[in-house]
């Protein structure tokens, strides 16, 4: 495939360098623009002067798939190729063996990538506006969940140094540091000195404030007994300082827990509006949050992936074969969409209870010698192929079709 004129844009925070090259690789025009309305008009004027038209727009290569400039270029209906910066660095060595680098030279490298190798690079997916909004919310929800886990781990590390009784109290009734009960208890008694002064009515009142209704008095009595048990203590001033630090960490944890809840509700509300919602949630183990996160990374552009194998490679569930001479190695894929791979691990794990076929598939892989992670990745690979087929044809998940019963072989 030969393109007559190609455009490369070297993206940066303050400005963007633009370069246009012809089919021979000669530079036609170059310019430095800003990410403003005026800069966008300069870019469109520059493309129009080079022969850009609505019927055959000049394709653009850029190092990022998001941002205001990408949104403006997407609105023009042209082909946009987001090129990985690592790939650009390798192409740069082709044009500059000495290792020299400049923004203008990188823009020319990007334009030449399209001139010579456009057919081996992925286009920016033509996703709908709805799925792009779901992607924003789902990724924000996933980030908030990771921040909540990080804040809880930081608080747990601090409590181990001066307040082990609170960790024991947090484990009662399968609770944890992110539960409203534990956070309310920490705000009420941030130090062991304050904990020994708590009364049962005070603890019960704190439990009711966070919405606890059933078995409040019994739980309050259990918590009181745990917090009053003898334990190792820090010096009083050190303990007081750690209590202040713990309160600040609890405030951060409260904010992250609220963010997780609000973003989860917004994500589920947007996801329910998408036409693929019924198909995706028909799969065992895919709920509103995991389904939305999966849709956010896969998108709804039906021609984005040529087949199920391309989707599996994108998700990192397909293995990688490295062969050279007599040696051949098959390993798991390290270069992948990390968000999709994270959702896939959770999805595969939850199907072990929800789907008998998935459980049998997992057990077969374990019996063949796979470790837990490898067996889950293999199961995710199988489920992803089923999902691709169902979404492409608008079919609801069917257990018998996804995991048909294997015929029993009777030995003679």
pTM of the model: 0.85
- Return the pLDDT at 410: 35
- Return the pLDDT at 174: 65
Nearest residue to 43 via CA among 58, 56, 23? 58
Residue 407: phi, psi to the nearest 5? -65, 140
The packing angle between helices 372-393 and 338-354, to 10°, is 90
Burial of 410 (0-12, 13-18, 19+ CB in 10 A): exposed
d(CA 46, CA 31): 8
Mean per-residue pLDDT, 343-369? 93
71 pLDDT higher than 70: yes
- Return the pLDDT at 332: 82
303 pLDDT higher than 70: yes
- Return the pLDDT at 406: 52
State the DSSP string of 2-63. --SSEEEEEE-SS-EEEEEE-TTS-EEEEEEE-SSHHHHHHHHHHHHHTT--SSSPPPEEES
326 pLDDT higher than 60: yes
Cα angle 9, 14, 18; round to 5: 20
- Return the pLDDT at 361: 94
> Containing H/E element for 276?
none
Mean per-residue pLDDT, 90-110? 83
d(CA 11, CA 14): 9
Percent with pLDDT over 70 in the chain: 96
Q: How confident is the model at residue 408 (pLDDT cuts 50, 70, 90)?
A: very low
2 pLDDT higher than 70: no
């Amino acid at each position: 495939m030969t393109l007559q004129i190609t455009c490369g844009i070297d993206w940066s925070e303050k400005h963007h360098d633009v370069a246009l090259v012809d089919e021979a690789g000669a530079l036609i025009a170059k310019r430095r623009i800003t990410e403003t309305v005026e800069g966008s008009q300069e870019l469109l004027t520059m493309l129009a002067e080079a022969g850009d038209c609505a019927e055959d727009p000049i394709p653009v290569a850029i190092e990022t798939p998001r941002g205001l400039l990408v949104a403006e270029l997407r609105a023009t209906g042209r082909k946009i190729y987001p090129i990985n910066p690592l790939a650009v660095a390798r192409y740069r060595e082709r044009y500059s063996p000495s290792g020299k680098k400049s923004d203008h030279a990188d823009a020319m490298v990007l334009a030449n990538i399209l001139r010579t190798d456009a057919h081996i690079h992925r286009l920016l997916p033509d996703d709908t506006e709805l799925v792009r909004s779901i992607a924003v919310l789902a990724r924000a929800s996933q980030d908030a969940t990771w921040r909540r886990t990080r804040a809880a781990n930081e608080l747990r590390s601090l409590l181990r140094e001066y307040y082990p009784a609170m960790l024991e109290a947090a484990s009662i009734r399968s609770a944890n540091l992110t539960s409203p009960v534990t956070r309310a208890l920490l705000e009420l008694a941030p130090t062991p000195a304050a904990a020994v002064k708590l009364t049962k009515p005070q603890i019960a009142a704190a439990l009711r404030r966070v919405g606890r209704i059933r078995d409040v008095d019994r739980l309050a009595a259990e918590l009181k007994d745990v917090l009053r048990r003898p334990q190792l203590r820090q010096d009083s001033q050190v303990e007081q300082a750690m209590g202040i630090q713990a309160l600040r960490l609890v405030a951060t944890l409260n904010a992250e827990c609220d963010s997780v809840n609000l973003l989860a509700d917004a994500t589920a509300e947007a996801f329910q509006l998408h036409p693929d919602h019924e198909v995706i949630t028909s799969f065992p183990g895919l709920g509103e949050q995991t389904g939305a996160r999966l849709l956010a990374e896969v998108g709804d552009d039906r021609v984005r992936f040529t087949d199920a194998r391309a989707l599996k490679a994108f998700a990192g569930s397909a293995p990688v074969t490295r062969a050279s001479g007599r040696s051949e190695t098959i390993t798991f894929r390290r270069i992948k969409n990390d968000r999709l791979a994270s959702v896939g691990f959770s999805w595969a794990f939850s199907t072990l209870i929800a789907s008998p076929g998935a459980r049998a598939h997992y057990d077969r892989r374990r019996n063949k010698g796979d470790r837990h992670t490898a067996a889950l990745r293999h199961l995710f690979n199988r489920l992803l192929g089923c999902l691709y087929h169902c979404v492409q044809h608008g079919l609801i998940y069917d257990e018998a079709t996804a995991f048909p019963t294997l015929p029993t072989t009777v030995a003679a």
